[in-house]
Amino acid sequence: MEEIRRAAEAYYENLSEDKKSYARFKFSEMDKNGDGQIDLYEYVEYLDKDNNMALTHPRMFRALDKNNDGGLDFEEAKVLYYITQSGRALFCKSCNTFLTDVYFCCFQCFFKGESVSTYEICCDCYGGNKFTHHEDAIFRDNYSLLSQSRSLALAAPPEKRRSVLGKVEGIVDAANTVAGCIIM
């Protein structure tokens, strides 16, 4: 969780003033009783409205509550904001834990296209072989997947490259829009 916290902090620092105010506004919307903390009740109630089942889990709330005082202050809530805005709300397809830092992703499913959903699992499930997926699956961690995406995009012929990059941009835009609508 520490790594994603640092990412969230960096992400927030680079937001425009407008977006920062928006994050503040979303926080105050969640904080119904206005005490500056989002308690579990406020958290679940807010996320339930958007049918965001995975994030609603109390385990997720506890993970966000860094100092363990039963409430999320604005600093802690930044992580939630980041997770939803960046489309980083990923959960292990095998044990359903939130994928905080490094995780493994099926290479084939990742590049197969929109008809196939991606398949990502936590290090424990991958290392302990605690998952079922198609036999020939090749797994890559999220970092190597990123650099391989670059190689694939660059390996495409120039006229195709634009469409590959366009698609990537489209995906990023869509993820941002969707996340913006769903929560915060």
The footprint of Ca ion (CB under 5 A) covers 31, 33, 35, 37, 65, 67, 69
**Amino acid identity, position 38:** I
Q: Which residue, 63 or 106, has its beta carbon nearer to Ca ion?
A: 63
Q: Closest approach of Cβ 184 to Ca ion, in Å?
A: 15
CB-based contact 150:17 (threshold 8 Å)? no
Q: Which residue has 């190689």 as its token pair?
A: 151
Which of the choices Ca ion, Zn ion, none does residue 35 contact, using the CB cut-off of 5 to 8 A by kind? Answer: Ca ion
Q: By C-alpha distance, which of 118, 114, 83 is closest to 104? A: 118
Q: Which residue, 63 or 121, has its beta carbon nearer to Ca ion?
A: 63
Q: Which residue, 108 or 149, has its beta carbon nearer to Zn ion?
A: 108
Residue 99 in the binding site for Zn ion (CB under 5 A): no
Distances (CA, A) of 166 to 153, 159, 161, 172: 10, 11, 8, 10
Length of the chain: 184
Query: Of these, 7, 40, 137, 182, which contacts Zn ion (CB under 5 A)?
Result: 137
Q: Closest approach of Cβ 89 to Zn ion, in Å?
A: 15
Dist CA 50 CA 45 (whole Å):
9
Q: Show the tokens assigned to 23.
A: 């994050």
Residue 90 in the binding site for Zn ion (CB under 5 A): no
Distances (CA, A) of 183 to 26, 29, 54, 67, 87: 9, 11, 12, 23, 11
Residue 123 in the binding site for Zn ion (CB under 5 A): no
Q: Closest approach of Cβ 84 to Zn ion, in Å?
A: 21
Q: Which residue, 16 or 68, has its beta carbon nearer to Ca ion?
A: 68
Q: Which residue, 64 or 106, has its beta carbon nearer to Ca ion?
A: 64
Binding site for Zn ion (CB under 5 A): 92, 94-95, 106, 108-109, 119, 122, 125, 137
